[in-house]
Structure 1
Amino acid sequence: MKQRSKLFISIVAAFTLLSACNEQTTAPAKQPVANKEQQKKQAPLELTPVESTNQPFTISLLPKFSLEAEEPGKDVVMHESEQEQWMRIELLPKEAKDQIETYAKERATAVSEQATPFEGTLPFEDAIVYEAPVDDSVVYIIGVTGDAPMFLTVFTKKEDNWLEPFMTMAKTIKRTATIENETGEQTSESFYTYKSSNQPFQANILDGYQAEAIEPGKDMIFLDEEKSSMTVELIDEGADWSLIAEQAEQYVKASSKDGTVEKITWTKGTRLNGADVYKSAIADGEVYVFVVKNGTPMRLTIFVQQTNELDPFLQMAETIDRID
């Protein structure tokens, strides 16, 4: 457990450093950038989380902004006094991301024949962006093409340009997933999509959890350095399953506080249904090794201190998709 704690601390430190290095800022059109001294004097942004009643997402809003359903599949963010400046949010199905570039261009030219690709910076790694001038206003058509595709349409003014505050709020958008818990109840959970740089897979990671590559062929999803974790190892086609099963059993036996290993067949969920599970009590909790042969073959090693910590890992494991 001490070795796992040290590993967790290293991972968290690396994750924090990477997050700081990757922080992006938004540079709105025709709006001066504050110098460093001015930025230091700025107070922290006051953002209030709000959940849409129309689409499965949450967003954090700046003061005096509100979220309203416009019509099914469309929400708008508006200011209480400047209602000529607003942002429309449309979530799209995952399969739509390949058509976003075409749709974005069509929407932009429908707004204005003078529409051109946007040359500024936005807080999205993957986005197709156009700006379309209309009299003294400008419309930004933003097609986010990542694993949670969506369209954002920002209506603002040329001189008093509000693209930056709208993007400040837009970058907080998180989809919510409806998940069935152990009691069969449906609950909504916020998550982000983790795409491994280490193995060819992606998964939806619940808020509060972190994911990171820890060594070649292994990624870890964890709560914090002192609590629970799940290691994900994809298994290639043609693997020796009898050897993998033997390794799983021996690993659990070595971790067990009394040398006892219980083997069961998992009968819940979709991706994990039918998996062989090796489990045992350890000094400060329980260890589980799932050997999944169907769908996305993988080995999942889960450490928990309390039984109720297992369910969130199983929820996230059910979203693992191989992306060769």
Structure 2
Amino acid sequence: MKQRSKLLISIVAAVTLLSACNEQTTAPAKQPVANEEQQKKQAPLELTPVESTNQPFTISLLPKFSLEAEEPGKDVVMHESEQEQWMRIELLPKEAKEQMETYAKERAMAVSEEATPFEGTLPFEDAIVYEASVDNSVVYIIGVTEDAPMFLTVFTKKEDNWLDRFMTMAKTIQQTETETSEQPNESFFTYKSSNQPFQANILNGYQAEAVEPGKDMIFLDEEKASMTVELIDDGADWSLIEEQAEQYVKASSKDGTVEKVTWTKGTLLNGADVYKSAITDGEVYVFVVKSGTPMRLTIFVQQADGLDPFLQMAETIKRID
């Protein structure tokens, strides 16, 4: 019995020793914690503050990125070698955030009808985000609805997606106050179309953008008030253009009635043929302008007094071949 007891004690001691050895051999599995500590100690991102000369804001940029004015009211962040990856920055008036959902969705659908809400996370507490795929690229339309609303449009690649890099820089954007007593704000900005050879003065609060080849849209809220600009080339078949204008207004009319008048106001629009009609939510006008800058203007407004701002902007349209 004593021998059996000694043998049993020896076995228990061996098992205990073996367990202790096993615990020692598995301890190194915690090494990744040390790697995490090393990562935390890595040097912070190198960001360089830059001030826009086009809009009142500053932004901190990663190495090899630059800030450039694209046109009045729009700046772009570009990489020195990856020209297909870039971000557009547009500051907006405070009241724009009330319509941000509409604006963001419309812009996304203009990029692709298959655009969908973005399900990832961004460094903004309040933002409406859509993403749209175009060939091998991805476009993110980001409407920031915080106290300083703005639109961010990120163009990147599917296989080499730089959204995180652009967001690292975007979260540093700080709007600066303008000294209105010394530099009063203009009531408009000059829009130079990248789609058609023209420019126009756009009233503050309105937006302008290319919607498809040969068409630019100026709008306050596309659902309520907008003007589409289509330049007409020399040698155009004016009888066909007028027929199309009349048919378009007739199709939009709530009762099929179309009124045609000759415009007698302004300078650029004076003498234009105008087709107009009442629609369900307002009025539609199509201006066929044959002299000066030949073009077709299609205007939708909900109230009659909404027409004047578009006419004011239309008078500033200038071809810049």
TM-score normalised by structure 1 residue count: 0.45
Structure 1 residues 317 and 7, CA, compared in 2 at 3 Å: closer, same or farther? farther
CA contact (8 A) 2:72 2:189 kept: no
What is the Cα deviation at residue 124 of structure 1? 0.4
Deviations, residues 142-201 of structure 1 (Å, cap 9, x unaligned): 0000110000000000110000010000000000102xxx99877999999999999999
CA contact (8 A) 2:282 2:301 kept: yes
Q: Which moved more, 1:302-311 or 1:26-35?
A: 302-311
CA contact (8 A) 1:28 1:162 kept: no
Structure 1 residues 222 and 38, CA, compared in 2 at 3 Å: closer, same or farther? farther
Structure 1 residues 286 and 209, CA, compared in 2 at 3 Å: closer, same or farther? same
What is the Cα deviation at residue 43 of structure 1? 2.2
C-alpha distance in structure 2 between counterparts of 1:243 and 1:66, whole Å: 47
C-alpha distance in structure 2 between counterparts of 1:234 and 1:10, whole Å: 99
CA contact (8 A) 1:280 1:286 kept: yes
Structure 1 residues 238 and 45, CA, compared in 2 at 3 Å: closer, same or farther? farther
C-alpha distance in structure 2 between counterparts of 1:7 and 1:217, whole Å: 96
Deviations, residues 219-238 of structure 1 (Å, cap 9, x unaligned): 99999999999999999999
Q: Could you say what secondary structure the match of 2:34 adopts?
A: coil
Structure 1 residues 40 and 237, CA, compared in 2 at 3 Å: closer, same or farther? farther
Structure 1 residues 76 and 310, CA, compared in 2 at 3 Å: closer, same or farther? closer
C-alpha distance in structure 1 between counterparts of 2:2 and 2:317, whole Å: 28
Structure 1 residues 117 and 177, CA, compared in 2 at 3 Å: closer, same or farther? same
What is the Cα deviation at residue 258 of structure 1? 83
What is the Cα deviation at residue 114 of structure 1? 1.6
Structure 1 residues 214 and 131, CA, compared in 2 at 3 Å: closer, same or farther? closer
Q: Could you say what secondary structure the match of 1:30 adopts?
A: helix
* Residues matched between the structures, number: 321
Q: Could you say what secondary structure the match of 1:99 adopts?
A: helix
C-alpha distance in structure 2 between counterparts of 1:35 and 1:23, whole Å: 21
Structure 1 residues 133 and 319, CA, compared in 2 at 3 Å: closer, same or farther? closer
Structure 1 residues 109 and 314, CA, compared in 2 at 3 Å: closer, same or farther? closer
Q: Could you say what secondary structure the match of 1:29 adopts?
A: helix
What is the Cα deviation at residue 209 of structure 1? 34
C-alpha distance in structure 2 between counterparts of 1:50 and 1:320, whole Å: 33
Q: Could you say what secondary structure the match of 2:98 adopts?
A: helix
Structure 1 residues 319 and 36, CA, compared in 2 at 3 Å: closer, same or farther? farther
TM-score normalised by structure 2 residue count: 0.45
CA contact (8 A) 2:104 2:141 kept: yes
C-alpha distance in structure 2 between counterparts of 1:18 and 1:315, whole Å: 90
Q: Could you say what secondary structure the match of 1:198 adopts?
A: coil
What is the Cα deviation at residue 53 of structure 1? 0.3
Structure 1 residues 306 and 218, CA, compared in 2 at 3 Å: closer, same or farther? same
What is the Cα deviation at residue 297 of structure 1? 56
What is the Cα deviation at residue 59 of structure 1? 0.4
Q: Could you say what secondary structure the match of 2:55 adopts?
A: coil
Q: Give the equivalent residue in structure 2 for 1:67.
A: 67
RCO greater where, 1 or 2, for CA within 8 Å and sep 6 or more? 1
CA contact (8 A) 1:176 1:189 kept: no
What is the Cα deviation at residue 39 of structure 1? 3.9
Deviations, residues 280-305 of structure 1 (Å, cap 9, x unaligned): 99999999999999999999999999
What is the Cα deviation at residue 122 of structure 1? 0.4
Q: Give the equivalent residue in structure 2 for 1:234.
A: 231
Query: Structure 1: where are the runs of 5+ without partners?
Result: none
Structure 1 residues 4 and 62, CA, compared in 2 at 3 Å: closer, same or farther? farther
Query: Structure 2: where are the runs of 5+ without partners?
Result: none
Deviations, residues 2-46 of structure 1 (Å, cap 9, x unaligned): 999999999999999999999999999999999945742542111
CA contact (8 A) 1:84 1:156 kept: yes
Q: Which moved more, 1:49-58 or 1:110-119?
A: 110-119
Greater Rg over alpha carbons, structure: 2
Identity rate of aligned residues, in percent?
90
Q: Which moved more, 1:237-246 or 1:93-102?
A: 237-246
CA contact (8 A) 1:9 1:225 kept: no
Q: Which moved more, 1:231-240 or 1:147-156?
A: 231-240
CA contact (8 A) 1:30 1:161 kept: no
